[in-house]
Amino acid sequence: MTDLAPLTGAAAERSDPAAPVEHMKWWGWGVPGVAFHHEDKPAFAPFVLKAVGLDLHAVRPLDQPDFGAIDVPASIAGGDLRAALADAVGAERVRDGDLDRVVHTYGKSIRDLIKVRAGRLPRVPDLVVYPADETAVQAVVDVVVAHDAVLIPFGGGSNIAGSLEPVPNETRPVVSLDMGLLDRVLDIDEGSGLARIQAGALGPALEAQLNARGWTIGHFPDSFTHSSLGGWIATRSSGMQSDKYGDIADITKGLHVARPGGLLELRPSPSASTGPSVKEMVLGSEGRLGVITEATVQVHRTPAKRVIHAYFFPNWRAGSRAMRQIAESDVHPAVTRVSDGRETGFSLATSKESKGFSGLAQRGLFAFLKRRGWNLDEMCLSFIGYEGAPDHVAKQRRAVERIVKRNGGIGVGTGPGVLYDQKKFDTPYLRDFLLDRGTAGDVSETSVPWTGLDRMHDGVIAAAEAAYESIGRKGWIMSHLSHSYHSGACLYFTFAFVMGEDPEAEYDVVKHAIQQAFIDLGGVPSHHHGIGVEHAEWLPDVLSESGIGVLEGLFTATDPGRNLNPAKITAS
Amino acid sequence: MTDLAPLTGAAAERSDPAAPVEHMKWWGWGVPGVAFHHEDKPAFAPFVLKAVGLDLHAVRPLDQPDFGAIDVPASIAGGDLRAALADAVGAERVRDGDLDRVVHTYGKSIRDLIKVRAGRLPRVPDLVVYPADETAVQAVVDVVVAHDAVLIPFGGGSNIAGSLEPVPNETRPVVSLDMGLLDRVLDIDEGSGLARIQAGALGPALEAQLNARGWTIGHFPDSFTHSSLGGWIATRSSGMQSDKYGDIADITKGLHVARPGGLLELRPSPSASTGPSVKEMVLGSEGRLGVITEATVQVHRTPAKRVIHAYFFPNWRAGSRAMRQIAESDVHPAVTRVSDGRETGFSLATSKESKGFSGLAQRGLFAFLKRRGWNLDEMCLSFIGYEGAPDHVAKQRRAVERIVKRNGGIGVGTGPGVLYDQKKFDTPYLRDFLLDRGTAGDVSETSVPWTGLDRMHDGVIAAAEAAYESIGRKGWIMSHLSHSYHSGACLYFTFAFVMGEDPEAEYDVVKHAIQQAFIDLGGVPSHHHGIGVEHAEWLPDVLSESGIGVLEGLFTATDPGRNLNPAKITAS
């Protein structure tokens, strides 16, 4: 993470040194001791001032929240349950400390951070358990059901859809099952390109174990550094290179799920016609069908060549049209991404003075584009990634660049792509930096058929702006196309506003307006973040009431006692 | 169908001229009036003699079965149900004639044909309805549930897994819902490559409507001429070009399903993270969740160039290794297929004297290969299909041919591929030709990771041969690799034997041995034929008991009265 700075003092300390696995900050994203800073990015403060009216030179950042000032409800777990869980996982791996329980209360959405920093904790897990193997996970599931408690699986804790939080008025004991100790690549079938991996493995650990033997899973969501294989599966994650490697639903070939009464084992298969897909029921199930303990995933040899090229398009229409033309061509890049003019401005503003776009070359380029009649505020930055044998990469690039040219675009080489590659996981730190300064930032994403794409882009921005108007706050929204498919694409929106009197209510208005626009304009509530509680309201719009009935039937039949992360995805 | 002959006389007559849609022969595959013949294929009779010991010159074919000689149980449908269905679809579209009911009793597996020809009809649908639109289908579903009857959806009737037959001891009225009148392409979103199509459309009608506007669905299962879009979805079908276009699960983007109480509508989306996939529950559901009335599928512009090249490999190991190397390369052909030595012999034997492999060129080639040390009995024929812009096709072909050469293979041009393309849907007619002559032929398929592929190939053949031995019949089995994926492939087996005293029992022994070998050697019960009742026995082996519990939970919750094609896929 080239663009982040180490912290010192209290902020650098590990949250809970005694915990069996390292957690993220209880009050924010990422590793304690790392934060975003902007001192070497001269265009950043002016950009923020213009976008949301926040003067970074005038605002005083909040102090790190004091955990001691927070009132944590006492655990209601009884002795029987504790003893049975201790039998299941070992006494030292059953924990009920306040910090441990608060870390497992929420994910890392902006709403989660606002609440946890304010000490708003209507329901905290009563116990946190850290099973060390699959047998222990299975034992926990059976203990929880036998004691009519509630089980919430916890991977890296990066969720932003409310999938990890207990039901506020839950009267039964709530157990958070932290999968962090199950982090190993168990086996690689090198002849088939299949790897068996424990579900608690976080992105970096998983990828390091694969890379050591020459393989990659090719799955790099924004949350990569702090999300787990099991979490990716439980939420139907997509990664930055999913155009080539597939979404996690494509990558997953076999599964183990600890379910009440015994392990669900789905034999790995390249493809099968074996009735309704149980695998596709577990995918996206957010804990409601049990705890994913292991997956067999397809893996690829690390490519001989991998490169990301940057292009500029004169405007959004040209950029999105080029992405569609690439998708319908014979070419299949690993990354197809284009930012709108707003996000392009943001990217330029977060560049360091000496690197990437900020150098003299850039100023020369921009002057040239201006002379060609480009409006630099509308200009759109695109990244296209190529992978494979060198001649394959060269061919793909030539084919893409014909399409870029046909749409008035221009290539600017690999420099920005290298920076993008290094910085791609840093955005949540920037989000926390802004939150420390009274500004709420968040993301929402959808997918839509190509014919509705531009209308979706413009409509969501209009809806957000109307929402800002209605709450009387100056706000910002920007977007990029992040994944391309044959029939459409994912649009990813980032939005921010300086918080007023009631940040949660203000956020609700904006978030609601964006999600409703997704639905009204032919999209889905989420392309890869999941449903949880945040997006459940819009699920009937895309599944119909009958579809919700099917989902609820599945949940009720497989978990009649509502012990498995209840009220996520659907209310019942 | 270049290789089939028209029949004359009684055999040429349409089964039931008064039926609202044309059906296949009640006693066999395909259009009345078309049959396989071998008079212009001089190598065919010697091949059959060698393979199964049947002398085609000595055997007298059976006469076409006489429908009048068959005893059809009377319909038990009462007046209330009939009246309500007449209200739902129109009185003229509710039929109870014996021929109509028998046509809807079975699919077209060899077991189905043996039974129907023998007049073995333990349970025949009591009524057949032909709704003309989605509203009428929904009304039928609701009527059937309200009257506690049983509903079995019927597309083209090509199923070979027993998915269409009523439960033998069913005491409630059984209604077969023939989707044949819902056969239109409703809309093409040309900007997104998405088409809305009624689920009853058979392959040729669907493709003709798309082709007329320059599009193709790219889905060509062996059953193409007599299978429907809804049937493909309900059984998780794959087609010959699925390597490029995807299996039907990949192609399907939105769905309408008539379910008790109302229509299930899944909004078309390129990709979505909206909980457990309801779409993937409907896929493969064989009627147990309701009746698929419409799908939004991805469609492609008909490619500028499409060509199938043939190659020979010296043996199976070389051929299967080449397919794996193609799958792990940067190249993605539309078809990757290789037959084993046995099936290659069969293909050569079914060629006409004057065409394809049978000409002088072939004999010259084979002499040359012999001189190079090839054992012609082990030689394997492969077809690789290329599609796209001409330069893309050329590049793909060059890359594939480097792999072919590296594995000792040799290209023999496009001639055999043209013949393959023309004849690819004819095999079921040949199957019926053999059945008329006392020989049972059938197919079974599985998928398996690459590392287990050769072991699966050899193990299934050994299992079939042991089964033939145990029943004391001379039998034949041959195989091809039909679909390639990153992590493995589909192996497709065709087997045949001259029937003895108890054909059904003999068939059971052979079929059981093959399916059990699939499981024992790391495969799945079916790659694309579905489960029905034929393959249900092996489902727990790949889903585990817990997975079967999840499936049964889904079925019980969504169809508590067991009105929707009960006892398919799982017993309860």
pLDDT at B15: 61
Q: Give the DSSP letter string of B363-374.
A: HHHHHHHHHTT-
User: Distance between CA B198 and CA A505 in Å, rounded?
Assistant: 45
pLDDT tens-place string over residues B505-555: 999 999 999 999 999 999 999 999 999 999 999 999 999 999 999 999 999
> Is some CB atom of chain B closer than 8 A to the CB atom of A529?
yes
Mean pLDDT computed over A508-535: 98
Residue B128 scores a pLDDT above 80? yes
> Is some CB atom of chain A closer than 8 A to the CB atom of B541?
yes
pLDDT tens-place string over residues A47-67: 999 999 999 999 999 988 999
pLDDT at B572: 81
> Is some CB atom of chain A closer than 8 A to the CB atom of B443?
no
Which residue among B193, B283, B449 sits closest to A487, beta carbon to beta carbon? B193
> Distance from CA of residue B186 to its chain's centroid?
25
Q: What is the three-class DSSP state of A140? A: helix
Window 289-308 of A: residues touching B by CB (8 A cutoff) are 289, 298, 300-301
pLDDT at A342: 97
- How many other β-carbons are positioned within 10 Å of the β-carbon of residue A413? 12
Which residue among A191, A330, A545 sits closest to B262, beta carbon to beta carbon? A545
Helix/strand/coil (H/E/C) assignment for every residue in A55-98: CCCCCCCCCCCCHHHCCCCCCCCCHHHHHHHHHHHCHHHEECCH
Mean pLDDT computed over A85-97: 97
Q: How far is A235 from chain B (nearest CA, A)?
A: 7
pLDDT at A40: 85
- How many other β-carbons are positioned within 10 Å of the β-carbon of residue A466? 13
Window 238-257 of B: residues touching A by CB (8 A cutoff) are 238, 247, 249, 253, 257
> Is some CB atom of chain A closer than 8 A to the CB atom of B533?
no
User: Distance between CA A365 and CA A505 in Å, rounded?
Assistant: 44
What lies within 8 Å, CB to CB, of A78 at 6+ separation is A173
Which residue among B191, B275, B448 sits closest to A551, beta carbon to beta carbon? B275
CB contact under 8 A, A276 and B569: yes
Q: How far is A569 from chain B (nearest CA, A)?
A: 6
* Cβ–Cβ under 8 Å, residues A465 and A307: no
CB contact under 8 A, B549 and A539: no
Residue B260 scores a pLDDT above 80? yes
Window 372-411 of A: residues touching B by CB (8 A cutoff) are 388-389, 392, 395
Burial class (CB in 10 A: 0-12, 13-18, 19+), A283: buried
Confidence of residue B34 (pLDDT cuts 50, 70, 90): confident
Q: Give the DSSP letter string of B216-235.
A: E-----TTGGG-BHHHHHHH
> Is some CB atom of chain B closer than 8 A to the CB atom of A194?
yes
Residue B1 scores a pLDDT above 50? no
> Is some CB atom of chain A closer than 8 A to the CB atom of B261?
yes
Beginning with the edge strand found earlier in the chain, give each strand of the sheet holding B291-298 in spatial order.
Answer: B185-189, B194-198, B291-298, B252-259, B262-266
pLDDT at B18: 80
Q: How far is A98 from chain B (nearest CA, A)?
A: 31
- How many other β-carbons are positioned within 10 Å of the β-carbon of residue A301? 12
Residue A387 scores a pLDDT above 70? yes
Residue B294 scores a pLDDT above 90? yes
pLDDT at A34: 87
Residue A385 scores a pLDDT above 70? yes
CB contact under 8 A, B525 and A488: no
CB contact under 8 A, A550 and B554: yes
- ipTM of the modeled complex: 0.96
pLDDT at B3: 55
Structure tokens at B257: 């399903």
Q: How far is B4 from chain A (nearest CA, A)?
A: 31
Which residue among A270, A275, A483 sits closest to B531, beta carbon to beta carbon? A275
> Is some CB atom of chain B closer than 8 A to the CB atom of A490?
yes
Q: Which residues of B touch A162 (CB under 8 A)?
A: none
* Cβ–Cβ under 8 Å, residues A549 and B541: no
Beta strand pairing status for A215-216 and A410-411? unpaired
pLDDT at A420: 80
Residue B295 scores a pLDDT above 80? yes
> Is some CB atom of chain A closer than 8 A to the CB atom of B551?
yes
Q: Which residues of B touch A277 (CB under 8 A)?
A: 249, 277, 280-281, 283-284
User: Distance between CA B170 and CA B166 in Å, rounded?
Assistant: 7
Mean pLDDT computed over B195-219: 98
Instruction: Give A195's strand partners.
Output: A188, A297
Q: What ranges in B153-311 are assigned the alpha helix state H?
A: 203-211, 229-235, 242-245, 248-251, 278-282
Interface test with B, best of A159, A215, A219, A487 (most B CBs within 10 A): A487
pLDDT at B96: 97
pLDDT at B2: 42
> Is some CB atom of chain A closer than 8 A to the CB atom of B194?
yes
pLDDT tens-place string over residues B350-386: 887 655 565 556 678 889 999 999 999 999 999 999 9
Q: What is the three-class DSSP state of A441? A: strand
pLDDT tens-place string over residues B147-190: 999 999 999 999 999 999 999 999 999 999 999 999 999 999 99
Confidence of residue A546 (pLDDT cuts 50, 70, 90): very high
Residue B339 scores a pLDDT above 70? yes
CB contact under 8 A, B546 and A259: yes
User: Distance between CA B299 and CA B204 in Å, rounded?
Assistant: 15
User: Distance between CA B297 and CA A486 in Å, rounded?
Assistant: 11
Confidence of residue A7 (pLDDT cuts 50, 70, 90): low
* Cβ–Cβ under 8 Å, residues B161 and B237: no
CB contact under 8 A, B270 and A487: yes
Q: What ranges in A261-414 are assigned the alpha helix state H?
A: 278-282, 316-327, 341-349, 360-371, 390-406
Q: Among B130, B311, B492, B507, which one carries the catalytic annotation?
A: B492
> Is some CB atom of chain A closer than 8 A to the CB atom of B502?
no
pLDDT at B554: 98
Residue A1 scores a pLDDT above 70? no
Q: Point out the residues of A that are catalytic.
A: 492
> Is some CB atom of chain A closer than 8 A to the CB atom of B560?
no
pLDDT at A2: 42
Any long-range contacts for A368-373 (C-beta under 8 Å, 24+ apart)? Answer: A369/A312, A369/A314, A369/A410
